[in-house]
Amino acid sequence: MVPQVAEKPKIDLIQEDVSLRSFTTWHVGGPARFFCQPKSTGQVKRAINFANEMGLDIKIIGNGSNLLVPDEGYDGLVIRLGSNLAETEINDRSINAAAGASLYKLADITNKAGSSCFNFLTGIPGTVGGGITMNAGAYGREISNYLKGVKYIDGQGEIHEYSHLPGSFDYRNSPFLDSEKIIVGAELKLDYTEDQPKMSEILESRRKKLPYSKPSAGSVFKNPTNCDKTAGELLDRAGAKGLTVGDAVVSHQHANFILNKGHATAKNIQNTIDILRNRVYKEFGVTLVTEVVVI
């Protein structure tokens, strides 16, 4: 008797063998075995069920602005929560935002409602889901400071509501990092008393300080907590600026940025990360930890 082979479940929102290069701001990386961009929470659940039936690992991405995908790709299911799942709604003192809404959109829509409390997120090229997962922040503020609640789906496809616990978030870290919890939406409080700089002023300041001429993933390393210097300052002192591996180069403008000059590979970037980490450790005895998520 010929053994029966289980057929792949048919699900229309799943694509196969999709290049991830165009879904990361570094513009590197190989294909995802399976890929989807759900338009609803229900579709996210369907995608999770598909992965469970197929025995696949799942990776959630947003704008891909903090992500290094290997050249070999990802042998699992990539779920991209982006503009297909980006609804926002303001209710007086709070805003409900889907995970795929951009952080820029969050700042913009609250400005139009009369609050500047999210202006600090201007210029951070991420999504609400990714911003909460990484606890995005700038200018002394973090998104968790405004978090009232999170809706997430677990690894079995069940929906949960999570009440924010301030102690569970810290610098570039959250309970959702490296977990099976997939954020699909959040409620954030609006503060109408804050007086942050205008979005245009913050954008102009970031353009002067940070390199935007070539593809990058923003700051590669977190600022160390056991040192009075930032990661960028340590890298600068270690002579990192201009270091080149293939088409990956450390920015002359900011030493914590690795740029893709055009044809960099993920391996080029990973080798650059390793060289930089080793230099700083040998020079200062400080071990830098990547802010960028490496699959």
For residue 63, give the nearest of 181, 251, 215 by alpha carbon: 215
DSSP secondary structure of 5-72:
PPPPPP-TT-EEEEE-GGGSTT----EEEEEE--SSHHHHHHHHHHHHHHT--EEEESS-TTEE--TT
The dihedrals phi and psi of 119, each to the nearest 5 degrees, come to -60, -30
User: Is 115 noted as a catalytic residue in this protein?
Assistant: no
What does the alpha-carbon distance between residue 288 and residue 274 come to, in Å, rounded to a whole number? Answer: 10
Q: Which of 46, 172, 277, 279 is catalytic?
A: 172
Q: Which residue is catalytic, options 116, 174, 219, 251? A: 219
Instruction: Answer whether 243's CB lies under 8 Å from 231's CB.
Output: no
- Contact in structure between 52 and 156 (CB atoms under 8 Å): yes
Cα–Cα–Cα angle for 64, 248, 62, nearest 5°? 0
Active site residue 172: yes
- Distance separating alpha carbons of residues 65 and 152, to the nearest angstrom: 21
Check if 65 is active-site.
no
Active-site positions?
A: 172, 219, 291
